Structure 1
Amino acid sequence: MEQVAKLQNARAINFEDEEELLSEPEPFGSGGSESEYLPSGESRSSSIVPDTPENMLLSDTECDQVSQSLPVDHSENFLSMETDEETDNISSGVTSSINKSETKELIKINCAKKTSGGKRIRNKDHSCYFCHKLLRNLARHFERAHSNETEVARILSMPKNSKRRREAFNALTRNGDFYHNCDVLLLKKGELILTRRPTEQERKFLKYSDYGPCPECLGFMIKRHLWHHLKYSCICMKDKNILSSEKSSRLPVAESTSLLNGIYGHNLTEDFRSNILNKLRNDDISEICRKDDLILRFGAFLYEKYSSTQAELIRQSMRQLGRLTIELAKKNTDVHKLIDALTPEKFDAVVLATKSLCVTSNEIAKRTEFGIPSLALKIGYSIRKCIGIERGSCLRKGDLKRNEILLGFLSILDLEWSVRISSNALATLQSRKLNAVDLLPITGDLIKLSKFLEFMIQETKNDMEREKSFQNWSKLASLTLSRIILFNKRRSGEAARMKIEHYTKRPSWQSQGIAEMKESLTEFETKLANALTVVEIIGKRGRKVPVLLTKEMKESVDFLLATRTAVGVPEGGILLCLHG
């Protein structure tokens, strides 16, 4: 009971500002008039907010109207994002060159204030879903100004002071705040409306990019706290009956980022957004990647080639270019994006930035060595691809002048990169292989592991027969995959990408074997052919790779296929799917 009380107290502290949303409308004639709570300025827009997040992007005319009417009052409780960007960038080694590119971003966060007596000052405004005005008491405003709206009429029909009525007003208020915040992020100007405003002390360590909407209730909060909000505090989750397997497999930060897809990268596919952009780590490097058009096109180019099978490789390649861009901006005030560095006069700066990233050591009478030689090689490959992507764009637009500049950079890259970067990086890799210890597995350990996996597979099968659940199915799939990898000594990624069609369409040796070939086999070879099942899959560089399955492995795979739909795993796709 004490733990429950502590949890309730923590939730009350974290979301104390939500009390303002739940206040009931005051009756007419109680001393308050419409002019008392309406702001003195004009509304941000006179049009109705669209009902879907896809329509949140405004036209150029609407953007001008919004930018002219967004609040720009620099009061004392507004802390500018520029100041904190400078503090964060200096602490992380990024100089003011990045800050100069961010000076146009006037996104602000209103901090929570208290009186000298410790009482909280209720000065948080919310955006009306219908007229977009910033008001304190939206419940009263809805009743007086928008009672003819369908949503408001439905809420007003509920009993006064009831919990359902308060929650309905709360949800409508959050919807208005969500669209307001989307406009602010799109225009890079205005104030974010948060479910819980930070204190001045907390604000020193936060940026506007640290906040995102809840996938369920759309309230803006710190992204790293979304899991706690969804588990304990989100009102929308209480009305949903979600299986425990679905809860454990949710990615709240990725879902939150997906709601803001229209802010960055307008021409990207939905698959690329969900598999790559939404799953980028939430930090300064990822923020650069999302804002840099060339890095986004580079990632989309790789995704078109590899699809989701190499999603982690694509994300890491994008982050490497993001790190290079940040490193370039440290000593080059005119480099704000990667495209700014792809000019012949900036080639030396690119080389120096690459050496700085890879921790180069220059000792007298000794060849240059890289601390991270593989990163230097990867950056070279990525830059070359980026040049090709940008050249294609220039040729389509007819921008021959820009194409000549890129060709000049490419010529210098061909002449000098191998000498200044690649050769030293390869030499470093080769020197590290000398006298390196080869760790070979002991036969006894392999036997122990094999027996353990066989025992656990049988135990998990018994558990599945007693209770067919996704947890047991996923555990059995993981054990079976481990047994296949151990037996075949193949790359784990190859066996993990084995598809159902690879297994079901495998050829049968007994039916396709030629009589003369069978007679030429020895007795031992014949027993092996009858005991093992061969499945051909696609390996590295598109090569055909055989995977051998013993009788026990085949039985486990057949059992997994038979119980696949019963535990909620979709049909088709990966054979040993571990995540549903």
Structure 2
Amino acid sequence: MRRCPFRSEDDKQKGRQKVLGLASELKAGHAKTSEEEVLRMLSHVHDDDVASIIRNDSCLLRFAESLYNKHGHDPSKHEYIRQKIRELGRLLQTLRKRSPDMTIEDALRPKNFLSLIKAVKETAGFDKKKNDYKTPSIALKLGHSLVKVNDIITCHALIAEDEDGIKSSKAFMKLYRAKWSEYVSHSALSTIADKKYNKTMKLPLTEDVTKLHSHLDKRTELASEALKNETTAHSYSSLAKATLTKIVIFNRRRVGEVSKIKLKNFLERDQSNTHEKRGLSDYEQKLCTYFERVELKGKRGRKVAVLLTPNMTKALNLLVEKREERGVPVENEYLFAIPNCLTYYRGHECLRKFADECGAQEPEYLRSTRLRKEMATTSQILNLKNNELDQLADFMGHDLAVHRQFYRLSEPTIQSAKISKILLALEKGMLHEVRGKSLEEIGDNTDDEEDTSEEEDAISDGDTPRVNSSQEVLDSDKNTSAPMGPSRNPKKRLAEHNGMV
């Protein structure tokens, strides 16, 4: 390893396993046709039988190149690419139990379609008696990957003008569209849906969120003072982790989005404070000058933003100031960079760590997804207007339909608290009394209705209720949802009651 003439400067920091992985790639039969960057990425794959299968299958290497061309510029996506390749490698390993010389390209021939179905089911752990999968997501992912591999085969056949290859790939797609749902995806989707029955989604407690905010404020303050006095590795990492977690909690952002904020996004943020403030209240205008806004890339390439308080901005400026002193490489483009590395601090690890430290009653609920659901649930309770709901969904970085279907208050809560009001009214035959009311208004004056019904029973039995004053009669009329006598007019009702007394 020390004397290898082909060792690059980047390989000096790598270990023995890295060198052996590169050597395995170079020994593979199809390695010469692949790009060096792809081979280096695949050298991190766990060196086992599946890795050997991947290195020696031309279609899998082409698929890896295709994914690398799309996502390879982002190092954080390399693990995703390796995972997708290993899934197909496991499928090919299952296929070779029956046909030792099988390749992915052979598996996608129409004559091997049924064998491919059996291999996918076996890889995903299909139980024929129960008609469900142990890991249904694997079956669905393999279907999507096989379609992409077939597209790659089709493109190469078109370039080579291979008529037989073109016909074969088109025939496979015809079989896939006609039979894949019947044999694989329908059962997989049913298994996923069945696992969601009676599965509750608990939201974090308000007290726990408050404790976490207080704990993060203290940690940020202590770490900032320590970093100003002496630039140590511990103080730098403590401030970076606390600030990262604080931004995630405050903005209810996905941890991956905040973790991968680029340094240039923070430095190029708009600090002019020249917002268009016409139509805003005084309080809203003050908020515009209080917060700073940083735009970043969210899920599916959407542009999302985070709002920074003055304390967050001070902490981030201190981190940027101490980057070079703490040994953060110039090539590291992330704001929350790890010293002497090209990677960043992981938001989910930081959030889990601080949730356990803050003394929360239910620390396992303090996760970014649950906090985002809490925010969406609050928006439902506030009964926001459509345009306000659009703004909230856009800030959270997802479509309004996704916001309503997956992030709002869970169906069990809605059915138990809201829809049950209608069912009770139908059961008691009181539907006419709630006519024209919203779900929020139904049941708000239940006690008044019960008192009114007792008064009606007393009148019908000849036991006249005591009326102290005309104001009590008017008040009782206002609180009664159904008329007590022949007339709905309050003044006539007053005269009738006085006549009875």
Alignment-derived partner of residue 386 in structure 1: 149
AA matched with 1:536 = E
Q: Quote the Cα distance in structure 2 between the aligned partners of 1:425 and 1:509.
A: 52
> Among residues 41, 44, 64, which one is paired with 1:299 in the alignment?
64
| 1:54-69 alignment, distance < 5 Å | none
Q: CA 1:435–1:507 in structure 2 vs 1: closer, same or farther (change >3 Å)?
A: same
How much identity, in percent, do the aligned residues show? 30
Structure 2: how far apart are the matches of 1:327 and 1:506? 52
Q: How far apart, in 2, do the equivalents of 1:252 and 1:551 lie?
A: 47
Q: Tell me the residue number matched to 1:271.
A: 37
Work out the CA distance in 1 between the residues paired with 2:172 and 2:96.
Answer: 18
> Whole-Å Cα distance in 2 between the matches of residues 457 and 287 of structure 1?
47
Between the aligned partners of 1:333 and 1:323, the Cα distance in structure 2 is 14
| Counterpart in the other structure of 1:309 | 76
In 2 relative to 1, CA 273–485 (structure 1 residues): closer, same or farther, beyond 3 Å?
farther
Corresponding letter in the other structure for 1:266: K
Q: Any stretches of 5+ residues in structure 2 without a counterpart? A: 343-501
Report the secondary structure of 2:306's partner residue.
strand
In the TM superposition, residue 306 of structure 1 has moved relative to its aligned partner by 1.6
Query: What is the one-letter code of the residue matched to 1:521?
Result: L
Q: For residues 85-137 of structure 1, give each alpha carbon's deviation from its aligned partner in whole angstroms, at most 9, with x where no partner exists.
A: xxxxxxxxxxxxxxxxxxxxxxxxxxxxxxxxxxxxxxxxxxxxxxxxxxxxx
Using a 3 Å threshold, how does the CA distance of structure 1 residues 261 and 351 change in structure 2: closer, same or farther? closer
Query: Which residue type is aligned with residue 293 of structure 2?
Result: V
Is residue 406 from structure 1 mapped to residue 169 from structure 2 by the alignment? yes
State the Cα distance separating 1:256 from its structure 2 match. Answer: 4.1
Matches within 5 A, 1:401-550: 401-508=164-271, 510-511=273-274, 513-514=275-276, 518-550=277-309
Q: 45, 54, 67: which is aligned to 1:280?
A: 45
The DSSP-based 3-state class of the residue aligned with 1:547 is: strand
Distance across 1 between alignment mates of 2:334 and 2:203: 31
Q: Give a deviation string over 1:258-298, Cα, whole Å, max 9, x none.
A: 35553342243343333x31221222222222222211211
> Are positions 1:339 and 2:105 aligned together?
yes
1:73-92 equivalent positions in 2, closer than 5 A: none
Supply the distance in 2 between the matched residues of 1:427 and 1:527 (Cα, whole angstroms).
51
Rounded Cα–Cα distance in structure 2 between residues aligned with 1:436 and 1:468: 47
Aligned-residue offset at 1:324: 0.2
Spell out structure 1 runs of 4+ moving beyond 6 A: none
Aligned AA for 1:280? V
Deviation string 1:344-391 (CA, Å, 9 cap, x unpaired) is: 11111111111111111223xx6x222211111100000000111122
Call closer, same or farther: CA 1:357–1:260 in 2, change over 3 Å: closer
Question: In structure 1, how many angstroms separate the alpha carbons of the residues matched to 2:158 and 2:234?
Answer: 53
2:128 & 2:109 partners in 1: Cα distance? 27
> 3-state SS of the aligned residue for 2:273?
helix
Matched to 2:39, the amino acid is R
Counterpart CA distance in 1 for 2:243 and 2:157 is: 51
Task: Measure the CA separation in 1 of the matches of 2:240 and 2:196.
Answer: 36
Task: State the SS of the aligned residue for 1:477.
Answer: helix
C-alpha distance 396-433 of structure 1, shift in aligned 2 (>3 A): same
1:458 to partner: Cα distance: 2.4
Give the one of 325, 349, 362 matched to 2:115.
349
- Is residue 470–residue 568 contact of structure 1 (8 Å, CA) maintained in 2? no
Shift of 1:251: 5.6
For 2:183 and 2:325, locate their aligned partners in 1 and report how far apart those are by CA, in whole Å: 59
Would the alpha carbon gap of residues 374 and 481 (structure 1) be closer, same or farther in structure 2, given more than 3 Å must change?
A: same
Query: Residues of 2 paired with 1:563 and 1:271: CA distance?
Result: 32
The residue identity in structure 2 corresponding to 1:346 is: N
Structure 2 residue aligned with 1:234: none
- Structure 1 residues 333 and 519: CA distance shift in structure 2, 3 A: closer
Shift of 1:303: 1.5
1:497·1:575 contact (CA, 8 Å) conserved in 2?
A: yes
TM-score, with normalisation over the residues of structure 2?
Answer: 0.62
Structure (1 or 2) with the larger CA radius of gyration: 2
> How many Å apart are 1:397 and its aligned residue?
2.2
What TM-score results when the alignment is normalised by the length of structure 1? 0.54
Matched residues in 1 for 2:4 and 2:204: separation? 60
Counterpart of 2:246, as a letter, is R
Hey, what's the Cα distance between the residues in 2 that align with 1:398 and 1:54? 40
> Counterpart of 1:510 in 2: which secondary structure?
coil
Which is helix-richer, 1 or 2?
2
How much does 1:478 deviate? 2.3
Q: CA RMSD in A?
A: 2.4
